[in-house]
Amino acid sequence: MRALVIDDSRAMRTILTKQLGKLGFDVAQATDGRDALDLLDTGYVPDVALVDWNMPRVDGLSFIKAVRARDDLRDVSLMMVTTESEQRNIVRALAAGAHEYVIKPFTEEVIGEKLALLGLVGV
């Protein structure tokens, strides 16, 4: 299984990469939505992308909309992982095509539970 971690914080990318690695994922990283879209344009297709909202160049919501507009990426599960906790932002992300929404800070268990809900890991 492949995972893509998209976050402008090196520390957050490291934390999520370690957690996903423990769950058996091969993990790629991107520093923002533009870098992530460039990676997808090379033919890399992850099973899941964990996406921060607030990033330079292309933010997480714009990234999700861009992925959802592409037929070749329709099977990619998208999980927003962000500090954005307002209900309206959660609704916006889910309406744009995110499958799950995790508010920072989070625990390893929460990430595992969300991936299990998506059918990507065993419970």
* pLDDT higher than 60, residue 123: no
Task: Calculate the alpha carbon distances from 7 to 14, 19, 55, 117, 120 in Å.
Answer: 10, 15, 7, 22, 21
Q: Is residue 23 part of a domain?
A: yes
Q: Is residue 26 part of a domain?
A: yes
Range of the domain at 87: 2-117
Q: Is residue 70 part of a domain?
A: yes
Identity of residue 33 = G
List, for residues 40-82, the tens digit of each pLDDT value. 999 999 999 999 999 999 999 999 999 999 999 999 999 999 9
At 105, is the pLDDT very low, low, confident or very high (cuts 50, 70, 90)? very high
Q: Is residue 78 part of a domain?
A: yes
**DSSP structural state of residue 42:** T
Q: Is residue 123 part of a domain?
A: no
**Model confidence pTM above 0.75:** yes
Task: Calculate the alpha carbon distances from 8 to 12, 33, 34, 46 in Å.
Answer: 8, 9, 11, 19
Q: Supply the pLDDT for residue 122.
A: 76
- The CATH number given to whatever domain includes residue 44 is 3.40.50.2300
Radius of gyration of the CA atoms of the chain, in A: 13
Q: Is residue 14 part of a domain?
A: yes
Q: Is residue 68 part of a domain?
A: yes
Q: Which residues lie below 8 Å from residue 4, measured CB to CB, with a gap of 6+?
A: 27, 28, 29, 30, 36, 39, 44, 46, 48, 49, 50
Q: Is residue 71 part of a domain?
A: yes
- Give the number of domains in the chain: 1
